[in-house]
Copies of this chain bind each other. A is one copy, B any other.
Amino acid sequence: MEGHVNFTLSDRLRKSPYYEATLRAGAKTFTIYNHMIMPTSYEGAEADYWNLMNNVTMWDVAAERQVEITGSDAFKFVEYITSRDLSKLQIGQGKYALITDEDGGIINDPIILRLGESHFWLSIADSDVLLWTRGLACGLGWDVNICEPDVSPLAIQGPNHLPLMIDLFGDWVMDVKYFFFKECELEGIPLIVQKSGWSKQGGFELYLRDGSKGEELWDIIANAGKKYDIKPGTPNNIERVESGLFSWGNDMDINSNPLELPLGNFCQLDKEAEYLSREALHKIRSEGPTKKLVGLIVDGDPFVGGCASPWKVMSDNQVCGKVSSAAYSPRLKINMAMATINNSHNEIDSEVMVETPWGTRSAKVTSIPFN
């Protein structure tokens, strides 16, 4: 199969609490994310896309691990690791933030949840934030405790998620604002229920707080969802590219910095609190970033897969950037790509060439999201 290989299981690669349930539900392909096996498709990328776009889906995203930070310096520490201004972060609220190092490089892009005055979770992408934060805290000698708790998110995503959520939890879910959350139980299973998820089709994430109850929780949702024709799903590459959701490790990493991304709203470089990357980011700002992450609409036949290795972006036979994510949108009927391109060619409507696995194609720079 295009873009797939046969994969050896190992104890080193952790099973999600929902793993057996996802096999029963027909999970067909997988990835490794935070040292954990995560399903990536059931019926295929496009069929899964329509299930997500048209109705409601449930996803095993246990691999979105949590890094828990407590202790008397916890709040100061969480401010210290990001340029996002967290001074108004309420208990019961989450905020998307870029974790950056002393050079401004992006370590990860979690949602930061505030569970208590000095109690935070970082709901992370695919790098060992546990090691970064523990190392840093250890070197600083600050009073924080950092661990990975037994927490495994299950996402309910899609435009028709709300009636199911009301059936399960009650009317209060209608009043939850984006990225806010509530601690609660479902048939005795301890959860945090947050209005969030890695799609723009609406929905919630249920942070399971007892890994032994994974299959039980999965079955409760699947059964309650039957009357709404719920389908198993996964983070979907087509939808997330359309919606402009970036993927750490693809579209950004330790060699990128926040000023190269269209994420200005999430970076307050002049915030009051002390933070590690202030000096580096101010320097980059004053010099100006040399490249930018932009969208590309690419000509030619529909892509028959995503971007499994960086694709060169060319102009006048010179490399001027690289594509890090791509998908054909069966709804918008365009080939979409996310690319980091040098300043010479990253203005809207600039024309470039892209070396795809299916030949060299002309492309035009556009804004993100695509829809």
Contacts and interface: CB of A to CB of B under 8 A. Distances in A.
Interface of A: 1, 3-13, 15, 28-32, 35, 37, 40-41, 101-102, 107, 126-141, 247-250, 254, 276, 306-310, 324-325
Contacts of A140: 139
13 contacts: A4-B8, A5-B7, A5-B9, A6-B29, A7-B32, A8-B41, A10-B249, A11-B249, A11-B324, A12-B247, A12-B248, A130-B254, A135-B136
Contacts of A5: 6-7, 9, 29-30, 37
Contact of A31 (B13, B101, B107, B310): B13
A270 to B, nearest CB: 22
Given A6-B6, A31-B7, A32-B32, A12 B126 contact: yes
Given A35-B249, A101-B134, A132-B135, 19 more contacts: A4-B9, A5-B7, A6-B7, A8-B30, A8-B40, A10-B306, A11-B249, A11-B250, A12-B248, A13-B249, A32-B32, A101-B138, A128-B128, A131-B132, A132-B134, A135-B136, A135-B139, A136-B136, A137-B139
Nearest to A148: B254
B132 A12 contact: no
A135 B140 CA distance: 9
A155 to B, nearest CB: 18
Contacts of A308: 9-11
**Centre residue among A7, A129, A307 by max chain B CB count within 10 A:** A7
A37 B135 CA distance: 27
Given A1-B6, A31-B7, A12 B135 contact: no
Contacts of A15: 309
Nearest to A322: B11
A368 B29 CA distance: 37
Contact of A276 (B137, B138, B309, B325): B138
A140 B141 CA distance: 8
A141 B139 contact: yes
Copies in the assembly, this chain: 2
Minimum-distance CB pairs A-B, first 4: A139-B139, A135-B135, A12-B249, A128-B128
Contacts of A128: 127-128, 131-132
A179 B352 CA distance: 49
**Centre residue among A15, A101, A308 by max chain B CB count within 10 A:** A308
A255 to B, nearest CB: 10
Contacts of A11: 249-250, 307-310, 324-325
A354 to B, nearest CB: 14
B3 A4 contact: no
Contact of A9 (B3, B8, B325): B3
Contacts of A309: 9, 11, 15
Contacts of A310: 11
Nearest to A307: B11
Nearest to A32: B32
A310 B29 CA distance: 22
A345 B140 CA distance: 41
Contacts of A324: 11
Contacts of A250: 10-12
A93 B305 CA distance: 46
A86 to B, nearest CB: 19
Nearest to A131: B132
Contacts of A129: 131
Nearest to A12: B249
Contacts of A254: 130
